[in-house]
Amino acid sequence: MNFRMEHDTMGTIAVPAEHYWGAQTQRSIENFKIGGQRQPKEIITAFAYLKEACARANAEVGKLTAVQADAIAAACAEIRGGKRDEEFPLVVWQTGSGTQTNMNVNEVIAHLTAEAGVALHPNDHVNASQSSNDTFPSALHIAAALSVAGEVLPAAERLEAAFAALEAQYPDLIRIGRTHLQDATPLKFAQEVSGWRELIAAPCRMLRLAQTELCKLAIGGTAVGTGLNAPKGYDEKVCGYLRQMTGLEFVPDANKFHALTSKDALVFAHGALKALAANLMKIANDIRFEASGPRCGMGELYIPENEPGSSIMPGKVNPTQCEAVTMVAVQVMGNDAAIGFAASQGNFQLNVFLPVSAYNFQLSTRLLTDVMDSFRVHCVEGIVPNVERMEYNLQNSLMLVTCLTPKIGYEAAAKCAKRALEEGTTLKEAVLNSGLLTVEEYDETVRPEKMV
């Protein structure tokens, strides 16, 4: 491997000649050989948006020329396009402010502009009017807002639509309900599916509310929130360019001292992701239990048979998509704990748990997006109710007795249900044997279609 010598304020260091990063990136590579988990690509993309917006704002206030700003913008477009992914090798486990990732981006941009014939310094030009302490928190919010708007919400809406289609397909099918894992009163299958649909829709509304806070940026606060070395109005100019580039309503945080040290917006937004994960867990559990069998379980749903389920039991097929959903859910819940702990560690003028917060948030958005699409395509869109099994369970349920309470009273109804269970008879036989109702009265009263 060929090397070139790069320098920073600590001296010179050898850098692989084929790469565009500089001395500070190289020092981070050598000092933090931890874990191997790289900064999320979404964070690098967010930085590429932010650096272009900062360059445009700096040109507007006279701190950069138009030529310099254009060169930075061209480099940022390359980075956002994925052409330079190999230039961002730094791991999550570095300085807690993300300074080295900020400098990684600055150094790569400076080398790209130099290659294009515009010599720029990574600190003096690319980082003009900025500090790592306001750029990384801003990139963190930009990445989170973009992932929620562009990935999670669309995937959730597709899943919600799949449940809506299933709901519309079986408008009148009645099944027995279950509470406490015990038989309950009947409901329509479509009503149950409507609950699943709303379990997706509700946390999406929460995520949209969270976007308002995620779109408040720390940019312009520089080192400690005072805005030292940033021109007046610079923060609004940066956000204006970001709005143009992304279509999201980014605005400066009104209190930069809050913006640099608090990660409450991230906690709030990830709480909505956790709510979505919790609801997905519930849906997946419902579906896999209702599809259990094929002969010795509930067996009220058929789900797609995607792959063999056992290396020893021939013919066995498992609810693998449901299991993937539940594993993602527990991972997201773990990520939420990490983000909450990290957010609690804002000391004085800066939170120094930013990279781990970014990593966990982006892991959650990526996992949820992927698993919702996988679950939809390979499971939900192929669900078919087992009508015969649903009807059998409905007619054999003792909880149909609930509709008799107004006629014969709660205690008499309970005695009939217990008698049927003890004697192994149907509810109808137990009621008729008690002499409380005639056949005609029973048939007129116990009608599941009137109970839903």
Predicted local confidence at residue 1, as pLDDT: 85
Degrees to nearest 5, angle at CA 199 with 273 and 303: 110
**Residue 302, H or E segment:** strand 301-302
Q: Chain centroid to CA 201: how far?
A: 13
- Give pLDDT < 50 ranges for the chain: none
CATH class of 6-128: mainly alpha
Q: Chain centroid to CA 426: how far?
A: 47
Q: Which residues of 197-231 are buried (b: 16+ CB within 10 A; e: fewer)?
A: bebbbebbebbeebbebbbbbbbbbbbbbebeebb
In which residue ranges of the chain is CATH 1.20.200.10 found?
Answer: 134-167+178-231+249-387
Q: Is 147 assigned a catalytic role? A: no
* Alpha carbons 138 and 255: distance in angstroms, whole number: 13
Q: What is the CA radius of gyration of the chain?
A: 30
User: What's the token pair of residue 113?
Assistant: 């502009």
* Alpha carbons 146 and 123: distance in angstroms, whole number: 27
Beta strand pairing status for 251-252 and 216-217?
A: parallel
In which residue ranges of the chain is CATH 1.10.40.30 found?
Answer: 397-450
Task: Indicate the DSSP class of residue 40.
Answer: P
pLDDT tens column, 22-67: 999 999 999 999 999 999 999 999 999 999 999 999 999 999 999 9
Q: Of the residues 180, 258, 374, 378, which is catalytic? A: 180
**Residue 384, H or E segment:** strand 384-385
* Alpha carbons 446 and 96: distance in angstroms, whole number: 66
In which residue ranges of the chain is CATH 1.10.275.10 found?
Answer: 6-128
CB atoms within 10 A of CB 285: 15
Q: What pTM was computed for the model?
A: 0.96
Backbone angles phi and psi of 347, in degrees to 5:
-110, 130
Q: Of the residues 310, 344, 397, 434, which is catalytic? A: 310
Polymer length in residues for the chain: 452
> Comparing C-alpha atoms, which of 265, 240, 183, 238 is closest to residue 58?
238
The answer to whether the CB of 186 falls within 8 A of the CB of 21 is no
* Alpha carbons 226 and 236: distance in angstroms, whole number: 15
Q: Which CATH superfamily hosts domain 397-450?
A: Fumarase/aspartase (C-terminal domain) (1.10.40.30)
- CATH no., domain 134-167+178-231+249-387: 1.20.200.10
Query: With DSSP H G I counted as helix, E B as strand and the rest as coil, what are the percentages for the chain, rounded to 5?
Result: 65, 10, 30
User: What's the token pair of residue 447?
Assistant: 């009608």
* Alpha carbons 20 and 123: distance in angstroms, whole number: 15
Residue type, 22: G
> Comparing C-alpha atoms, which of 373, 288, 374 is closest to residue 323?
288
Give the ranges where 81-218 is alpha helix by DSSP (H). 99-115, 132-147, 153-169, 189-214
The answer to whether the CB of 409 falls within 8 A of the CB of 437 is no
> Comparing C-alpha atoms, which of 115, 109, 14, 15 is closest to residue 64?
109
User: What's the token pair of residue 283?
Assistant: 């849906």
DSSP string for residues in 217-271 = E-TT-TTTSS-TTS-TTHHHHHHHHHHHHH-S--EE-S-HHHHHH--HHHHHHHH
Q: Is 310 assigned a catalytic role? A: yes
